[in-house]
Amino acid sequence: MDGDVAVDGAASVDDSSIRRPGASPGHDMHRPVRAVVQRVSEASVTVEDKVTGAIGAGLCVLVGVGAQDTESDARWLAEKVVDLRIFEDEQGKMNRSVLEVGGGILAISQFTLFGDARKGTRPGFSDAARPEVAQPLYDKFCGFARAHGVTVAEGVFRATMQVRIVNEGPVTLLLDSRKLF
């Protein structure tokens, strides 16, 4: 999401009657949104030797915006991440959300989540959104998460970042609206 990406044009498809599992009405099936969600006891991101975002306990979310993504995808991802019940309750079961435990989110833009290395050894990124499309949608994701009452720290879009996490559990989930992985 944070680098220059050559993207082929995509045909518009009217599939408004198709819904992905758990999607709200009007959320198109063909639009992928991807994230890697890690439960952390702490996480931070540094750009040019300056910490630009840090959280204690919560979630580190690597966010990839696809070429066909829309604002509804950003909203879907934010709601899914905020509501994920991956924190332990009193019985030790993963039954509480980041909001319920008072945790934060460290959001990192990462266009490489759309890397395709099925052919050859150099990944292609044609399914990733161009930066001018990706940045506003990444910003929307962060805004929607904040609107739910979660503190969101961020990296710097298109910057080279050093991300440090302490994965708690470890717990790592892959989210893809089309369930491609």
Listed by start position, the domains of the chain span 33-176
Which sequence positions are flagged as catalytic? Answer: 110-112
pTM, rounded to two decimals? 0.81
Per-residue exposure over 128-156, b if at least 16 CB sit within 10 Å of its own CB, e if not: bbebebbbebbebbbebbeebebebbbbb
* Tens of pLDDT, residues 12-41: 333 333 333 344 444 444 446 789 999 999
* Tens of pLDDT, residues 122-138: 999 999 999 999 999 99
> How many whole angstroms separate alpha carbon 123 and alpha carbon 120?
8
Give me 168's structure tokens: 């708690």
Give Cα 57 to chain centroid, integer Å: 18
180 confidence band (pLDDT: 50, 70, 90): low
Only one residue has tokens 């945790």, namely: 103
Q: Hey, which CATH number is domain 33-176, 2.70.50.60, 3.40.50.2000, 3.50.80.10, 3.30.70.890?
A: 3.50.80.10
